[in-house]
Structure 1
Amino acid sequence: MEKDQHKVSADNIIKVRDDREPIVFRLTSDKKKFSLEAGRCLTWCSEGVFEKGDLRARVEPWLTSLFQSEHLSLLIGSGLTTAIQYAACEKTNNCMNEETEFTVFSDEIKGAANQSAEAAGRGASNIEDQIRVANELIKGLNIMKGDNEGVIPAKKIETLSSDLEHVIETFANNILAIERDIFSAKKGKGDAAFSKLVLFLMSFASRVGTRDRLNIFTTNYDRLIEAGADIAGLRLIDRFVGAMFPIFRSSRLDIDMHYNPPGIRGEPRYLEGVARFTKLHGSLDWLNIEGHIRRIGLPFGAQGTVPFLQNAGLDEHYTSMMIYPNAAKDRETAEYPYVELFRDFAAALCRPNSTIVTYGYSFGDDHINRVIQDMLTIPSTHLVIIAYDDATGRIMDKYRTWGRESQISLIIGKDIANIDDLVDYYLPKPAIDRVSMRMADILRRRINRPFDKEQGGGEFE
């Protein structure tokens, strides 16, 4: 097992353009070049050794063309937060493997959480699994206690509810600690980390106004993407309406942002630098208040949540936080607002000429994987998987079992999918680069039609 894990961390995998199968390679001992796995030979790499520039020549144009698909979506997992946190303070902690503190039914909760995680192919359970199981257990115990008062004492249910409240509080504060690490990093490192985040986001969001808006989806509870968008000047459109105390609306229309060009009347044009934004699993600053989902003004990296919960009139009720494993207590709220969010996800992906790029997502959520798999049944769709590693093996397992290899591109490995190399070498230029397109067109015409002095520069015709 240790040998296999080492292999996963050492090898890089790529499959783009006309590659018929994934190409495995690793960094050479001098850390300057890449070498193919033994016995492998490629037309673009006859000697089995190549440099970053060679790889860029294959990857960057391919991604640039895919990013200009009619419909483009970006699915971000915890890997982005981990990458930015490490760039800012050279340490990482995603809070998912924290030990929970249930004083009653502890073994039952952990056992059920482990079964759930194994069924999803994720191995050991994490704190999300345990919160979800504890929440379901409380519902079940409340149903049973009327007929089994002696078997299930009400005090045990109260203790379990109190434990769950404490676990969610700890989970929320740990997420805030990650935000605080990034925000309070040393000035040079912190600024550089946010700069990488901005370049990453704008590589996807730099779409001309005639294209459909970029759809950004994330499974993260933190507000890193929102912070990066603020710095980049990227306007995010979500389902929340309002300024002081925004409320989640199911009746969202196709709201967009337009502007009127000077001197032109009645012909509004799409504003550039706009993206649609959906947090599939909820957010740290979403609260269930009297049946409505509202977003509170919780600062990025705040010291704690208590004052902000009190201002919302909740008196420290952490179970009102809308994070996915903490679906609230009745069926209606358990489905809302997540049913609306996943409807947006499916509608954005499952249509012709659609491309989705995943970054830092380990394919551990079946409800998300199912939508992506359905999308791939449409022949004109494409999936691009960018990941720092595949330690669990889930990515390659999905690649093989879904049977849509020609519609899937892979960029996996710490030497190519780290945030530095991605923004410096492989992702498209984070701007609407009309100048480069015009230059390429001029060069193409010059190659096909030699310059004729007597005709006076016919290559511009």
Structure 2
Amino acid sequence: MTFTAIRGGTALADEIELEGHLASLLRLENIGLLLGAGASVAAGGLTMSALWDEFITKCKEESIWMVEHGFIREEARTLPNPVVPNFENLIDSLEIALSDWARQMRMAGDDSLLYTSSELELEKKLNSLKKIKAALFRTVVSAALLRKDWWLSPSGVETNDDGLASQRTILQKLVSARQPGQSSPWVFTTNYDLAIEWAAESIDLQVSNGFLGTHIRRFSPQSFDLSFRNTQARGEARFGVYNIYLAKLHGSLTWKEESGQVFEVSAPLAHQRIKAFMDERNGEDLGLMVMPRAAKYMDTIGYVLGELFRRFAEFMSKPQSCLILCGYGFGDEHINRLIRSALLNPTLQLVIYSSGFNGDPNDLSLPPALRKLLSLKNPRITVVGGGSAHAHIDSLAGHLPDPLIYDEDMRKFERDLREHQYPQDHTSSPGVQL
């Protein structure tokens, strides 16, 4: 599919025009990314549709059971092109049934010492439902693991590993584009994986993710108000940017809650915990991940996630801000609401990379939330599409301007200035050095 992009109600001519637009946006006071599941595909992650394909392939009996009991339709498990159900609604319906059947079992236990045949059947259904819910959660976690060797490597992800090449490029370009006195870039993500952390560590970029501590890292939101500086630098370099801010809006595979506090653990230790979770057939939860369900809006009002969402809303409300969305499928209505509300900020710019966008704002295959944004025809909203070849994270990495372009312009300006001050016939004069 060919490249397509639209700004407001006007189509952009080509990628060069898009790159120029992005170059101007990176000069704004505040710059941020919102990454969804699609942004981690190149690193081994799965989109929601790919995740569902994996579930119905590996858990055939569970998918058949859900069809028989009315939780999904037959076409949802018909390969090779199943109709992907709404994950949030599906898990909500499973949890509602789980709660109701558990209540019926408790009532039956209070009324008699022996189960009737119907009660035994109910217990069997209850156990099956628990296993199916656990299987779904294990599939979600599996999609966020990326590569096993990254978890177990004592030196982290190497810079020659192409799996995170785009993430590294994007982070380097965002940081290098910051001007003296401007704040560090923000990265907001709905992903549980460690792609951003590993990419930043591989290029020695500091990550401020809300946790402070050396051996014991405890969530301390005031860390988002701190920044790094180079004490050896002189001039404008003293105001350079040496870190990014990372807000994992749905939690992380490396978080755990203990005694009312939230801690971050190392990747190898977290991997042990994840392995135990994956081996437990009836496991229902892991750390502070917010599983894909409609009720996760309630999960986000807690201390940690509530603070991260507050920072997200605060970022979009700041003057002269730009938020770039990549790999986000607009499936989280609580995030969609914040984005729509943020458009009341007259200086907010949105750039959306959507692999499903073909240039038609009225395409019914697009997520309703994205169609709503397109219908506004707001010149502050740019949508980039054209299929996966033009709208995934690799394209974003290529479209962002290289800071060396600015350096070359400055060198050319300096050469022109020197030629003006010292004409060619004076270059050999004593005491003049170019």
TM-score using structure 1 length:
0.68
Select the residue among 23, 46, 66 that pairs with 2:25.
66
Question: In the alignment, does 2:205 pair up with 1:234?
Answer: yes
Structure 2 residue identity aligned to 1:130? L
Number of residues of Structure 1 aligned to a counterpart in Structure 2: 388
**What does 1:123-142 correspond to in 2, within 5 Å?**
124-125=84-85, 127=87, 129-139=89-99
Q: Which residue of 1 aligns with 2:431?
A: none
1:97-136 maps to which residues of 2 (within 5 A)? 97=53, 98-99=55-56, 101=62, 107=69, 109-110=71-72, 124-125=84-85, 127=87, 129-136=89-96
Is the 1:76–1:358 Cα contact (8 Å) retained in structure 2? yes
CA 1:353 to 1:188, structure 2 compared with 1: closer, same or farther past 3 Å? closer
Question: 1:208, 1:432 within 8 Å by CA — same for their partners in 2?
Answer: no
Q: How many Å separate the matches in 1 of 2:424 and 2:142?
A: 74
3-state SS in 2 of match to 1:390? coil
Deviation of 1:198 (Å):
1.1
Query: How far apart are residue 72 of structure 1 and its match?
Result: 0.9
Of the candidates 142, 148, 163, which is equivalent to residue 180 of structure 1? 148
The residue identity in structure 1 corresponding to 2:94 is A
**Is the aligned partner of 1:22 residue 2:5?**
no
Alignment of 1:195 with 2:184, yes or no, is no
- Deviation at residue 172 of structure 1 after TM alignment: 2.0
For 1:251 and 1:145, the matched residues in 2 are separated by 47
- 1:236-385 aligned at under 5 Å gives the runs 236-249=207-220, 254-261=225-232, 269-270=238-239, 272-299=241-268, 305-306=274-275, 319-325=285-291, 335-336=301-302, 337-385=304-352
Structure with bigger helix share is: 2
Q: Read off the aligned partner of 1:416 and give its amino acid letter.
A: H
The aligned amino acid for 1:22 is: A
Identity in percent = 22
* Residue of 220, 224, 230 corresponding to 2:191: 220
The 1:450–1:404 alpha-carbon spacing in structure 2 relative to 1, beyond 3 Å, is farther
**How far did residue 71 of structure 1 move?**
1.1
- 1:164 counterpart = 2:139: no
Q: How much has 1:307 moved relative to structure 2?
A: 5.4
CA contact (8 A) 1:215 1:276 kept: yes
Higher RCO (Cα < 8 Å, 6 or more apart): 2
Counterpart Cα distance in 2 of 1:92 and 1:102: 16
Name 1:95's counterpart in structure 2.
Answer: 51
Pairwise CA distance, 1:396: 5.4
Question: 1:416 is paired with a residue of what secondary structure?
Answer: helix
- 1:167–1:363: structure 2 CA closer, same or farther, 3 Å change rule? closer
From 36, 39, 45, the counterpart of 1:80:
39
Unaligned runs of at least 5 residues, structure 1:
1-9, 24-41, 43-54, 115-122
Deviations 1:329-360 (A, max 9, x none): 99986632332221111111122211100111
Q: Which structure 2 segments of 5+ residues have no match?
A: 77-82, 112-117, 359-364, 428-434
Q: Does the CA-based 8 Å contact 2:51-2:139 persist in structure 1? A: no
Distance 1:441 1:321, change over 3 A: same
Aligned residues of 2:357 and 2:384 also touching (Cα < 8 A): no
Q: CA deviation at 1:146?
A: 5.8
**How far is the alpha carbon of 1:287 from its aligned partner?**
2.7
C-alpha displacement of 1:455? 12
Report the Cα distance in structure 2 between the residues aligned to 1:262 and 1:204, rounded to whole angstroms: 20
Taking a change above 3 Å as real, the CA distance of residues 262 and 354 of structure 1, as seen in their structure-2 partners, is: closer
